Amino acid sequence: MGSDWARLVLVRHGEVEANRSYRYLGRRDDVLTDAGRRQAEALAVALSELPVDAVISSPLKRALDTAQTIAGPGGLAVELEVRLLELDFGDWDGRSRAEVVATSEGDRRRVQAWEADPTLPVPGGESLAQLQERVVNLANDLTRARSGSTLVLVSHMGPIKTLLLAALGLPLTAAARIFLDPATVSVVDWSSRPVVRLVNSHAHLGFAGARWLGEGR
């Protein structure tokens, strides 16, 4: 590990209604469901066992409400960071993939092209490459400014997935091979040679409610 490093505890926000139907959810400012608030409380209990130096959050309500719940037991103030915002899904925000591809043949082709090319932005939005650039820049800035710290970053699926892929040295085309459930925890020791410690842990939530148990390929 390099001389500058930070332990980044990457938390996906608690559940919102749109998560239940697997909708693209970018900058639309949805609030947590009752289940999402319970998940945030479980996160707070679990993460209270860690020596957390700061809680940093995307400004969107679903992330900020999760972050404030996590920060409460330690008496920490939540710091807002726009680079933790979800991918800007532009024209697709709030719609499911099935809804977008069913709109027209052109929309179906645009979805397929976007999935194949990480440099291609969503219509009216941004690309996975742009998203990864901003979250990697944030991780680098945090390691320089707060070397040796344990930082909880409360964000969204896209930023966390792209940061994990950067840490693993994998191409962005592998993004579809990782799924992150709401209110789960991933951990990266970020430095010039990052180490991934944990991915999509929901031990604090239990296995009974894990969606992947009831889903095949």
Distance separating alpha carbons of residues 35 and 95, to the nearest angstrom: 22
Q: State the pLDDT at residue 155.
A: 98
**Coil, helix or strand at residue 206:** coil
Q: Which segments in the chain show pLDDT lower than 50?
A: 1-2, 217
* pLDDT tens string 98-157: 999 999 999 999 999 999 999 999 999 999 999 999 999 999 999 999 999 999 999 999
Q: Which helix (H) or strand (E) holds 12?
A: strand 6-12
Residue 141: what pLDDT?
98
> What is the pLDDT, as a whole number, of residue 215?
65
Please tell me what DSSP assigns to residue 92: G
Q: Rounded to whole angstroms, how far apart are CA atoms 208 and 73?
A: 26
* Active-site residue set: 13, 86
As a whole number of angstroms, the distance between CA 84 and CA 135 comes to 7
CA–CA separation, 109 and 152 (whole Å):
38
**Interacting residues of 122 by C-beta distance below 8 A, sequence separation 6+:** 24, 87, 88, 89, 90, 91, 92, 114
Predicted TM-score (pTM) above 0.85: yes
Structure-block tokens of residue 38: 């319970």
Residue 167's alpha-carbon distances to 51, 190, 192, 208, in angstroms, are: 22, 7, 9, 30
Residue 1: per-residue pLDDT: 45
Per DSSP, helices labelled H in 48-156 are: 61-71, 97-103, 105-116, 128-145
